[in-house]
Amino acid sequence: MKLNGYPVSVESLLEGARGYLSALETLAEHPSRQLVEPIGLLASQALELALKAVLLHGGWTEHQLISKVGHDLNEAWAEAKKKGLKVNWEHRFSVEVLSLSHNSPYLFRYPREKVGAAITEPEVLCKDVKAVIAAVEKHVAS
């Protein structure tokens, strides 16, 4: 499959998710108000790539990844669960919170005046993202 002209695979998506998680863990060691958007963007992107790896593994096309999910983490979560992803419900809260700012109006990418983005506590966020990636790795290995 080619995403925007370049080959993409389940493994390349998971490798990207792991990279974003690594960067997230580094930033989360020193949380501050200035880092809310960067932490949120890294966590969201890690989750988006991991969940899309499940969908790609399940037979989705590039067009479906873009048109049905886009940057909507809630939709990606729901569709990945339909494909059989087994991940504890407790990690869903971080996905819901991140989805508010990762999808339109893209507050993690384009901060606005008088509007704030929200994330769960960085320590919890890292734990949740790590758990989702681990569940995805297990899912695609089976």
Distances (CA, A) of 32 to 29, 88, 102, 113: 10, 28, 19, 18
Q: How confident is the model at residue 1 (pLDDT cuts 50, 70, 90)?
A: low
Q: pTM (2 decimals)?
A: 0.94
- Indicate which CATH number applies to the domain containing 60: 1.20.120.330
Give the pLDDT of residue 6.
79
Average the pLDDT over 68-88 and give the result: 96
More confident residue, 87 or 62: 87
Give the model's pLDDT for residue 91: 92
Could you list the residue range(s) of the whole structural domain that residue 82 is in? 2-141
Q: 15 falls in which pLDDT band (50, 70, 90)?
A: very high
Instruction: Look at the chain and report how many structural domains it folds into.
Output: 1
Cα–Cα distance, 129 to 132 (Å, whole number):
5
Mean pLDDT of 82-106: 93
Contacts 24+ apart (CB under 8 A), 130-135: 130/21, 131/87, 131/88, 131/91, 132/47, 132/50, 132/51, 132/87, 132/91, 132/95, 133/14, 133/17, 133/18, 133/21, 133/46, 133/50, 135/85, 135/86, 135/87
pLDDT in tens, 16-75: 999 999 999 999 999 898 999 999 999 999 999 999 999 999 999 878 998 999 999 999
